Structure 1
Amino acid sequence: MSSFAPEILHPNAGAPWSLNRRLMLFSGRANPALAGQIGAHIGLAPSRVKLKTFSSGEVYCRYEESIRGADVFLIQPMCRNDETGLSANDALLELMVMIDAAVGASAHRVIAVTPWYGYSRQDKKSAPREPISARMVARMLESAGVDRVLAMDLHAGQIQGMFQVPFDHMTAMMVLAEHFNQLAADHTATGVRPEDYVVVAPDAGRVKLAKKFADLLRADLAILDKERPAQQVAEIGAVIGDVQGKVALIVDDIIDTAGTLRAAAETVMNAGAGRVWAAATHAVLSGNAYENLQAAPLEEIVVTDTIPLAPGAPEKIRVVSCAGILGDTIQRIYQCDSVSEVFGGHNQVF
């Protein structure tokens, strides 16, 4: 990555002086593999940072080289990582101390690249005396001193309005759609033609996302009538649209316990779909998710690498990388170029 030296005036001396800007990547322990792929995409390896957890459970951070004057991009989704022993809350706190250390070390800008934004489903009050935890996380990041935040496929668009610093929203929709377009292009091997697809929205809240996905595939759209009688419990009543004999693609932003996805797949199959696949950006996959996915009538579940998979994942899960999108966005932010051009202006999926 080439650097440039803009000529600016020192406020005291009144003479031009040179500021060497640098782009530096650092990875937390939530998803170092993704950080490595982003670095490979832009030709810049993540720099060294010492991160550890004390026996008391407290998190420690120290940058092992100077970051003074640099644009520091901290790659840390707020997710658990079984290999590094981090919980979702650990990942959030580790991001906080990384931001604080970077601010204290005189970084020029500190940008949090958190593709999976934690607590994003707690974006409003659904019952009395509940917190709006997504807003609380936004305040925490701003209080630590972050200058900018990047996230991918937020669960709710209003989270962007909870920040007073610039917020860039990215989407993996194009990457996921390209995967299914490739399957249709190779129809002799997959048995799927473009006209076979029907995109299924798992609930009314995902209709706009599903419609955009269907447009990318030139496919029809169906909607499931879903209700939640309790947290992490889904009941699906009916299919609105024609799925008879079709290849149904259930599209969502998150797969958590996979209870909704399993119920959706069973409902679509009972409505006459020939085959059922699924796509989602964030593979949270907590609780009995693997058991639900294994039991569901799904041929393939396509997810991105925003969250690392825990060991023992079913073979039907396929991971596609979003490192290219993240890398291109990071470069554009550093160079003060348009971020929306990465997505052709289609990164607002709400």
Structure 2
Amino acid sequence: MALKDIIISSLTKAEDSMKIARKSAEYLRTRYGINMPDVSQTIHPGDFSGGEFNPEVLCDLKGKHVFLFAVPTDPANILNNVSPGEMKSRAEFAANAAKEWGAAHVTLVATDLYFSRADKGPEDFSEKSDDEKKKLFKGKGNLARAQAKAFMSNGIDRVLTLHLHSGHVQESYGKIYGRGDVLMDLSPVPLLIHYLTHYSNVGLNKNNGSNIVLLLSDLGAKPIGDYLYDSLHRLGYTGISKIQFSKTRKVANDPNKVEIYNPQVSPNYTGLEGKTALTIDDMDDTAGTRKATCVTIKEDGIEIEGFGRQRPANIVIYGTHAVHAGLNFESAMQTIAAAEPSEVIYTNSHPSIERNMTYYLKKVTSVIRTAHFFGEVIRCLEEEIPIGESYTTNGILDMAKISKFAVQPFRRSEHMNNLR
């Protein structure tokens, strides 16, 4: 497929959210010379007077590959906020309209794919499944699978997203579509390592990273944690070690009912005392998992055989998705701030994080911007190039390649003053 046949559109009129779609298009125009209409002139996310979504095709879509950007909006912006359910409907209606007007292929680009956490229903558990886990999902359905059915029936051919919390979601989509490549889960690790090596105060370059311990708060964090750990080691930061925890949640969505236990350490682990703990998770919603992790390591300490009970000198927090409990973002942020992290890192998959911060987080938070990364991935897909080739050389992350689409992170002025 020729790059000139790409069309990029936004499912919302919210400026923060539309900006990611527009920046992705600008990246493709500037870097690869692709001539395409502005996002506002492709598929307009209009409404009827009563509020019903009414997408309007404004350009020629015949034979085009359309990329619909579904970017979470600011829950505090009453006029332009789009709920998760509404965003799902908009994706289906816009894809249907695009196909009716001749689009050859439609990809949904969801910076954080809604309805992915509810990825289990009765048929997803066997007789041998853990009773406590089955109890948490009692009476609930697999919404990820239900969404896949709706997407397929409305003409969405592929879904592109960043850092799913579970590979089980891809399995659900694969079963519905009958192929394994329909839901593409991008790893944020290339962007995160670029940030850690270029902008962070974590001290990665001290003694090959031996002052840093990666903390993976549950098994859901294991894929990104292992990839991050292996990638850093292959780049020469062989001193970095890691601790993998298991997690139990007694009550769903209750930040006070989360416990982490059973720490397992990497072979090169040399202790936590006086070091920097870099906690890794896919998201902060109520921040219950983060709270459990930080309370455990900071107040109680971690007891590892042969090392005794130890505590880190600093805590650094990384989360891909700053969900922050929607309108209750202040409560979630206060939970995070209570750990007194020296640094907090998010991506802008929820761009409202750049605006909605409590004062403490303003002083320590950096936001990794993703629009150019999505643009580069779109280029790879259209030219049928393996995505990994855009950021690796011989299987190793290549900082020069990543620098082409990794931009300077967003920081509030309070943070900049704090760095001086």
**Do the two structures share a fold, i.e. TM-score over 0.5?**
yes
Counterparts of 2:297 and 2:262, CA distance in 1: 9
Choose which of 117, 123, 132 in structure 1 pairs with 2:119. Answer: 123
Q: CA deviation at 1:327?
A: 0.9
Give 1:254's match in structure 2, choosing from 279, 283, 289. 283
For residue 12 of structure 1, what is the aligned residue in structure 2? none
SS state at 2:352 partner: coil
Worse-superposed segment, 198-207 or 120-129: 120-129
Counterpart for residue 34 of structure 1? 20
* Paired amino acid for 1:205: G
Q: Distance in 2 between matches of 1:192 and 1:284?
A: 35
Please point out which of 38, 59, 62 is paired with 2:56.
62
1:268 maps onto 2:297 in alignment: yes
- 1:296 is matched with 339
The equivalent residue for 2:317 is 278
> 1:230 is paired with a residue of what secondary structure?
coil
Cross-structure match for 1:168: 184
- Residue identity opposite 2:387 in structure 1: V
Matched residue, 2:142 = 132
Structure 2 SS opposite 1:309: helix
1:75 lines up with 2:58 in the alignment? no
Q: 1:104 to 1:78 in 2, by over 3 A?
A: farther
Maintained 8 Å contact 2:11/2:70: yes
The partner residue of 1:322 within 357, 370, 390 is 370
1:338 to 382, 386, 407: 386
1:25 aligns with 2:8: yes
SS of equivalent residue, structure 1 residue 145: coil
Decide which moves more: 194-203 or 287-296.
287-296
SS in 1 for 2:385: coil
Please tell me whether the aligned partners of residues 10 and 45 of structure 2 are also in contact (alpha carbons under 8 angstroms): no
2:356 maps to amino acid: G
Large movers: runs of 4+ above 6 Å: 190-193
| TM-score scaled by length of structure 2 | 0.71
What letter matches 1:337 in structure 2? I
Q: 1:211 aligns with which of 199, 223, 226?
A: 226
Q: Distance in 2 between matches of 1:291 and 1:91?
A: 28
Contact persistence 1:78–1:89 (CA under 8 A): no
Tell me how far apart the structure 2 counterparts of residues 346 and 135 of structure 1 sit (CA, whole Å): 34
Question: Residue type matched to 2:282 in 1?
Answer: D
- The equivalent of 1:11 in structure 2 is none
Instruction: Please state how far the C-alpha of 1:335 moved relative to its aligned partner.
Output: 1.9
1:229 and 1:293 mapped to 2: Cα distance? 20
Partner Cα distance (2:8, 2:28) in 1: 10
Deviates more, 1:157-166 or 1:133-142: 157-166
Q: What CA distance in whole angstroms lies between the structure 2 residues aligned with 1:171 and 1:162?
A: 19
Residue 256 of structure 1 and its aligned partner are, at CA, apart by 0.9
Q: Which residue of 1 aligns with 2:39?
A: 46
Aligned equivalent of 1:8: none
Give the structure with the higher percent helix.
2
1:165-209: per-residue Cα shift (whole Å, max 9, x none)?
Answer: 633221111111221223579959x98972211110011332232
Superposed CA deviations along residues 83-127 of structure 1, whole A, max 9, x for unmatched, are: 422112221111111111101111111111112111111111343
- Residue 17 of structure 1 corresponds to which residue in structure 2? none
- Corresponding residue for residue 114 of structure 1: 110
**Among 218, 226, 244, the residue aligned to 2:273:** 244
Say if 1:79 and 1:118, in contact at 8 Å, map to a contact too. no
Moved more, 70-79 or 319-328: 70-79
What runs of 5+ residues in structure 2 fail to find an aligned partner?
A: 30-35, 122-133, 234-239, 266-270, 302-310, 398-420
Q: What code does the residue aligned with 1:35 have?
A: A
CA contact (8 A) 1:266 1:296 kept: yes
Cα offset, 1:312, TM superposition:
3.0
> Closer, same or farther in 2 for the Cα pair 1:76/1:281, shift >3 Å?
same
The reply on whether 1:90 has 2:133 as its aligned counterpart is: no
- More moved, 308-317 vs 74-83: 74-83
2:161 aligns with 151
Task: Summarize the Cα distance change of 1:259–1:186 in structure 2 as closer, same or farther, 3 Å threshold.
Answer: closer
Specify every segment of 5 or more residues in structure 1 that has no aligned partner in the other structure, as ranges.
Answer: 5-20
